[in-house]
Amino acid sequence: MPICKLREFLDSHAVRYFVVSHSPAYTAQEIAAAAHVPGKELAKTVVVTLDGKMAMVVLPASRQLDFDLLRKLTSARKVELASEKEFADLFPECEIGAMPPFGNLYGMDVYVSEELEDDDEIAFNAGVHTELLILSYENYKRLVHPKVAKLSLAVS
């Protein structure tokens, strides 16, 4: 979903947001540094398969997905990280790894790590590796209807 499509979606729901341009960055921590956003405030999108069905997990950039917690939450027998090859076609308008955390627009369940609820705002990739969007977490939650739970571990 390129930034213009995402903007149209947010505008149609009267959501205020900010666009932050930064030099190209690919890992969550590089993006946080390039955009001058604390790693715990930047959300990263992880695509997983739950018993073969694609889903999105949204975590603070400074955390890792705990597969056991996700398995328990979803009652899935098999929880795996999806490969880029598996999900690239789902987001044809986006650069690989820069998908915004709006899985609901792609028919995907969205799971959000509870730590993201501690901040008033959420920042995330906007479909490209050079721009972030920042909006209120409450608006994000209202639009996406994610399932919020404990899903992450500290990065070691």
pLDDT tens, position by position, 59-92: 998 899 999 999 999 999 999 999 988 988 888 8
What average pLDDT does the segment 8-29 reach?
Answer: 89
Tell which residue, 127, 143, 133, has the closest CA to residue 1: 127
Integer CA distances (angstroms), 138 to 45, 100, 125, in order: 18, 16, 18
More confident residue, 8 or 54: 54
pLDDT of residue 76: 97
What average pLDDT does the segment 119-146 reach?
Answer: 93
- The mean of the pLDDT values for the chain is 90
For residue 119, the enclosing domain spans 3-154
pLDDT of residue 102: 93
Evaluate if residue 116 carries a pLDDT over 80.
yes
Evaluate if residue 126 carries a pLDDT over 90.
no
- What's the order of all strands across the beta sheet hosting 79-81? 79-81, 43-50, 53-60, 109-113, 147-149
At 156, is the pLDDT very low, low, confident or very high (cuts 50, 70, 90)? low
Pairing verdict, β 131-136 and 17-21: antiparallel
pLDDT of residue 25: 84
**Tokens encoding 143:** 């639009």
What average pLDDT does the segment 7-25 reach?
Answer: 91
CATH code of the domain covering residue 45: 3.90.960.10
Evaluate if residue 29 carries a pLDDT over 90.
no
The DSSP code sequence of 21-76 is E-S---SHHHHHHHHT--TTTBEEEEEEEETTEEEEEEEETTEEE-HHHHHHHHT-
Q: Number of folded domains in the chain?
A: 1
At 1, is the pLDDT very low, low, confident or very high (cuts 50, 70, 90)? very low
